[in-house]
Amino acid sequence: MIVVMTAGATEEQVKKVEERLRGWGFDVHLSRGVARTILGAVGAQKDPSMAPMLEAMEGVEKVVHILTPYKLAGRQFKQEPTQLRIGEVVVGGPRVVVIAGPCAVESEEQILTTARAVKAAGADMLRGGAFKPRTSPYAFQGLEEEGLKLLAKARAETGLPIVTEVMNPRDVELVAAYADVIQIGARNMQNFTLLREVGRCKRPVLLKRGLAATIEEWLMAAEYILSEGNYEVILCERGIRTYETATRNTLDISAIPVIKHQSHLPIVVDPSHGTGKRQLILPMARAAVAAGADGIMVEVHPTPEKALSDGPQSLSLEEFAEMTAALRPVAVAVGRER
């Protein structure tokens, strides 16, 4: 931690900062420049509140952080990439995994038809929402437990592990009883109550990036889960909010190599939410794989024009089969399997 004093900071103000740093157990390196006095605090920073406290002191211009605020999620804590085994699937290994299914579970026929088709086309896991976060209170909110049961039925028939979202801390136990992977949606990325709750549960968690979350905040959200003892976290990039309106969100492909550099956690990419448009899914899925993603999560529906949500960004069953076929050569081109 480095404390930069203002140009007009007095000797006394510098001294007070120094004393405080020493009081917290830091070694202090004082450096008086032409224009600024700077204090370097050497030692482990135990409490994240220290920096804002220093910044609130008189004569302090800013505090510069040297270390990342996340520990367990970082590469320095764990050098080798984390591989998660979910049934027979390994996320974070050589194989680029594909997670597919409808935005929302709507009926037995819909989910079973989809499950069979995506299985046949090579999907590794089945996604589908039973609890749906919807911008409008008047929109379809999901089949709830009934939806979970239909997902379980689809798993029983196809063998595909299930990824499904939880929104309410009260439902974590229920969802965990059915799901193989619990999804935290983008809007709940900083729902810390929910993060702690899934951190205490024994299920892998797929953590979507918030609409306007920095990569650092995203890793801090993962840290909440890890710090509760659940080390099985998969990150999911799904597009960030920018000024551009040609796409629903701007899929941040560069987040993939940044995450690979900063963290040991696996990362998958959702080009459906990331673009909002069916015709962009294939090129963006290819881009994600080329950039090093560990997997793709994509919305698939037997009849997108009848989907109760996200139809415009859902692939039909045929389009999905074409997509998986088209991903394979790209995966191989970057040294992965598919």
Report, in Å, the least distance between residue 82 CB and its own copies: 18
Segment 179 to 208, residues that bind its own copies, using CB under 8 A:
187-188, 190-193, 196
Kindly tell me which of 153 and 316 has the beta carbon lying closer to its own copies: 316
Report, in Å, the least distance between residue 49 CB and its own copies: 5
Other CB atoms within a 10 A radius of the CB of residue 170 amount to 9
Within the chain, residue ranges assigned H as helices are: 11-23, 50-55, 108-120, 145-158, 172-178, 192-199, 215-227, 255-262, 271-275, 278-290, 317-333
Report, in Å, the least distance between residue 159 CB and its own copies: 29
Segment 225 to 284, residues that bind its own copies, using CB under 8 A:
227-228, 240-247, 250-258, 261-262, 274-275, 278-280, 283-284
* Rounded Cα gap, residues 338 and 329, in angstroms: 8
Number of residues in contact with its own copies under rule CB under 8 A: 108
183, two tokens: 């999804």
- Residue 87 lies near its own copies (rule: CB under 8 A): no
- Residue 334 lies near its own copies (rule: CB under 8 A): yes
* Rounded Cα gap, residues 42 and 25, in angstroms: 9
Kindly tell me which of 111 and 315 has the beta carbon lying closer to its own copies: 315
| Helix, coil or strand: residue 219 | helix
- Residue 333 lies near its own copies (rule: CB under 8 A): yes
- Residue 291 lies near its own copies (rule: CB under 8 A): yes
Segment 116 to 175, residues that bind its own copies, using CB under 8 A:
133-140, 167-170
- Residue 113 lies near its own copies (rule: CB under 8 A): no
38, two tokens: 């700077």
Residue 152 and residue 177 in contact, taking contact as beta carbons nearer than 8 Å:
no
